[in-house]
Structure 1
Amino acid sequence: MTITTPDALASPDLPLRYKAVRELTEDLAAPLSAEDQSIQSMPDASPTKWHRAHTTWFFETFLLQPHLRDYHVFHPQFGYLFNSYYETVGTPHPRPERGMISRPGIEEVKAYRQHVDAGMERLLTDKPGDDLAALVELGLQHEQQHQELLLMDIKHALWQNPLQPSYADLPPPKPTTAASLSWIEHPGGLIEIGHAGTGFAYDNETPRHKVWCEPFALANRLVTNGEWKAFIEDGGYQRPELWLSEGWATVQEQGWKAPLYWDHTGDEAFTLAGPQAIDPAQPVSHVSYFEADAYATWAGHRLPRESEWECVAAALPTEGAFLNQTRLRPQPAQGKQSPMQMFGDVWEWTASSYLPYPGYQPPKGAIGEYNGKFMVNQHVLRGGSCVTPPHHVRATYRNFFGANARWAFSGVRLAT
């Protein structure tokens, strides 16, 4: 299967961009059967058809119902079934029970998407004002987030199946060698981080503000599978002195011995193409904050703060190994450029808790529930991954997960 990323995904023409983003979601779901699209493998994940319907609900609820004259809601109960956490627009269906919804089926979800897309085409026929265009853009960025979640979630679901089925038929990676590890020195000082200027950004990326950094250094590339194997062989998962207290308790409770999806031999890992040999040169992926921090301690270094990461990344083009369905895996660091892999491949854990920036104010109304309400018990990740849609991230982008989360394509860059 080959799915290309059309230029329309980055088009300044809003109707064209809307169409391209919506089509990509359907392309991502296309390899999956009705049964595949209905399962939920854990409370943190969601069925594929739910992602398809929820992103549609967003446009119906926040754009079509309030802004399109004579719009008719597709189904009166979909507002309950496919609301995620927006309490100000109604009580959502319980998240852990999304896999219990056998109906609507995937064809009815397709009809729902087509109904809403027809409404959006009408709404976008006349050039929308700035406020409405900004809301459409938020909906598209939201759908791109769910495109990544769709792939994360179905990977976890297929992994649970003893048959180890694949999402896509992809050849195994060719053996490679990663670039040597080196350090990028930064003098520190008073820097500015956060979004400023034109272009889309989430509210949690603002306001731009000053941060003091002591002198630091970042690794020129990500930690590799081969380096992680050395950590395992040195007893990394059996040495409590390397771990935060809660992390060590989680290791004991969950029986962690390696990154998520690695088999017991350390030779194979489950991928979106099914079980494949582990390439030592590829960036390690599917590790939690607890594991990232323990590895950094073992290596004699630490994780970067998000301000350190951003001040280095801000000087670089936003280019890297993003979503490409001929690949769907992180790529080894190769070449002589420095730093490498700041964007794409795997999300990079930082040492920073997910908290509001100084002066942060969530937007008014239901949209204000998008980010601010989650600013507790989470850590920030930066840079995007190999399943992040192209043109979706930037140097100021703040992703966030709980410290024990491992099903995201998350990895490690060291700092010192």
Structure 2
Amino acid sequence: MSLLDATAASASTAAVLAERYRHVRSRSTALAAPLSAEDATVQSMPDASPSKWHLAHTTWFFEQFVLATQPGYRVVDERWGLLFNSYYQSVGPIHARPHRGLLTRPTLDEVRAFRDEIDARMQRAFERGGFDELTLHTIEIGLHHEQQHQELLLTDIKHAFAHNPLRPAYRDDLVHMRARATPLDWQRYDEAVVEIGAPHWPGGAQFAYDNESPRHRMLSLPFALANRPVTNAEYRQFIDEGGYTTVSLWLSAAWARIQDERWTRPLYWDEDLEREFTLGGMRELDPHAPVSHLSYYEADAFARWAGARLPTEFEWERAAGSRVPSPADNFVERDALHPQGATGAGDGLQQLYGDVWEWTSSAYTAYPGFKPWPGSLGEYNGKFMCGQWVLRGGSCASARDHLRASYRTFFFPPDRWQFSGLRLAKDLA
């Protein structure tokens, strides 16, 4: 490629990225719009963050890792790095995560003004062609990072609202559809050597986080995968048949947790097992929708009770194959913000993407030959590869263009506040 061609290609990439930047940033603003200043400041538990912090942190990311690399740049407020750095130890000191709800200042209006100012500076830099190829890559990372925080903004505010005795709705105009679940069936897969993961990015044709690479081969033994996620009705049967009181179904750490915290049902289910709390307020439980807000412990216990198991993340990715997320999947774009029953045909795998993240039996660890991104962004994934489990497929709060078959998210086994469910698997002789 000639220098002229390379320059033109870079300009084209920058133009596409500038439009994507505006789209992603405006969605964060729209998601936060229904929230008052009080809503946006509350922190309901150490693992969650205030909505205001999500808005500020994602903005700090672009100032810290993009704009501040430009010669002569002056930050909006040099004090805010301490407040809005998440876990980048190589960048500087960090305000303790459990205490983010104490940050009444800066105010929500000041955070919004911060976002507007950084967006204006980014726009001017795009217009003058001020970003080199490496910086464009960092912007792409920042946009996917912001989409992750959009989902966290929704799940964190849901957790906060659920603790309010008024059980307020985040929005009362959400799309609400019901559809009958198809009968449970199994898709069979023979033994095969399969390729897993994504090509290293930058370099690969499609964006992928460093924890999705390198692409490598795995031996997949014969197995079967359920055609759809487990439903609320099926999980209700597990409860009715003593699932939470049968010690043989539970891992040791899981049994200790459910005893200590007195778990008897999924997070957000009402005691009557007929209603659940949603971002649209309290609703009648839909028996055909995928069960959600399960910990790994609960997903594993249910699979054991059902005479099955959880799939490995490699089995899940093999089954996904070349499938990609589509507008028919229940992502944030559908504006339901809650799992819904499948509306497609009954053949093949359903709801592989969207609705609920699906727990796998795979520990979150490095692929053979894994190399984190260079510099501070190398802290993004690799240092969390200890004690967490992988989920696949995205949820009703995920952005469609953020997901792919190789995408790996990860949480600790007791975590329940995400839209997490399960799909059964079993071994074949």
TM superposition score normalised by structure 2: 0.92
**Alignment partner for residue 34 of structure 1, among 32, 37, 40?**
37
- In the alignment, does 2:27 pair up with 1:16? no
Which residue of 377, 381, 385 maps to 1:375? 385
Tell me the SS of whatever aligns to 1:124. helix
**Runs of 4 or more above 6 Å deviation:** none
State the shift of 1:325 in Å.
Answer: 6.0
Are 1:219 and 1:414, in contact at CA under 8 Å, matched by a contact in 2? yes
SS of the aligned residue for 1:35 comes to helix
> Partner residue of 2:272?
265
Structure 1 residues 75 and 172: CA distance shift in structure 2, 3 A: closer
Conserved? CA contact 1:173–1:279, under 8 Å: no
| Partner in structure 1 of residue 402 of structure 2 | 392
> Matched residue of 1:13: which SS?
helix
| Residue 318 (structure 1) aligned to one of 308, 315, 325 | 325
CA distance in 2, matches of 1:390, 1:112: 27
Determine if the alignment matches structure 1 residue 145 to structure 2 residue 148.
yes
Amino acid corresponding to residue 363 of structure 1 in structure 2 = W
Distance in 2 (alpha carbons) for counterparts of 1:22 and 1:171: 21
- Choose from 360, 366, 372 the match for 1:362: 372
CA distance in 1, matches of 2:406, 2:352: 12
Pick the aligned partner of 2:182 from 179, 182, 191: 179
Q: Structure 2: how far apart are the matches of 1:11 and 1:301?
A: 48
Are 2:240 and 1:207 equivalent residues in the alignment? no
Describe how 1:167-316 pairs up with structure 2 within 5 A: 167-170=170-173, 173=176, 175-196=178-199, 197-316=204-323
Unaligned runs of 5+ in 1: 1-9
Distance in 2 of aligned mates of 1:330 and 1:12:
35
Aligned to 1:3: none
* More moved, 127-136 vs 76-85: 127-136
Match of 1:333, as an amino acid?
A
Sequence identity percentage: 51
- Code of the residue aligned with 1:377 in structure 2: it is G
Mapped partners of 1:119, 1:82: distance in 2: 19
Root-mean-square deviation (CA, aligned residues, Å) is 1.5
Amino acid at match of 1:62: F
Task: Report the CA distance between 1:126 and its aligned residue.
Answer: 3.9
Partner Cα distance (1:170, 1:216) in 2: 42
Distance 2:15 2:270 in 1: 45
Contact residue 179 and residue 340 of structure 2 kept, 8 A: no
Which of the residues 85, 95, 99 maps onto 2:97? Answer: 95
Matched, 1:60 2:63: yes
- Higher mean C-alpha displacement, 203-212 vs 319-328: 319-328
8 A Cα contact 1:11 1:17, kept in partner: no
**Structure-2 residue corresponding to 1:329:** 338
Indicate yes or no: 2:419 matched with 1:409: yes
Distance in 2 (CA, whole Å) between partners of 1:113 and 1:357 is: 36
Give the C-alpha shift of residue 362 in structure 1: 0.9
Q: Which amino acid aligns with 1:193?
A: I
Cα distance in 2 between the residues matched to 1:347 and 1:170: 24
Q: Aligned residues, how many? A: 406
TM superposition shift of 1:53: 0.1
Residues 175 and 336, structure 2, Cα contact 8 Å, conserved in 1: no
Distance, in Å, in 1 between the alignment partners of 2:174 and 2:317 is 34
Unpaired stretches in structure 2, ≥5 consecutive residues: 1-12
Alignment partners' CA distance in 1, 2:218 and 2:399: 30
Aligned-partner Cα distance in 2 for 1:411–1:81:
33
Please tell me whether the aligned partners of residues 172 and 277 of structure 1 are also in contact (alpha carbons under 8 angstroms).
Answer: no
Q: More displaced, 128-137 or 325-334?
A: 325-334
Determine if contact 1:170/1:327 at 8 Å carries over to the other structure.
no
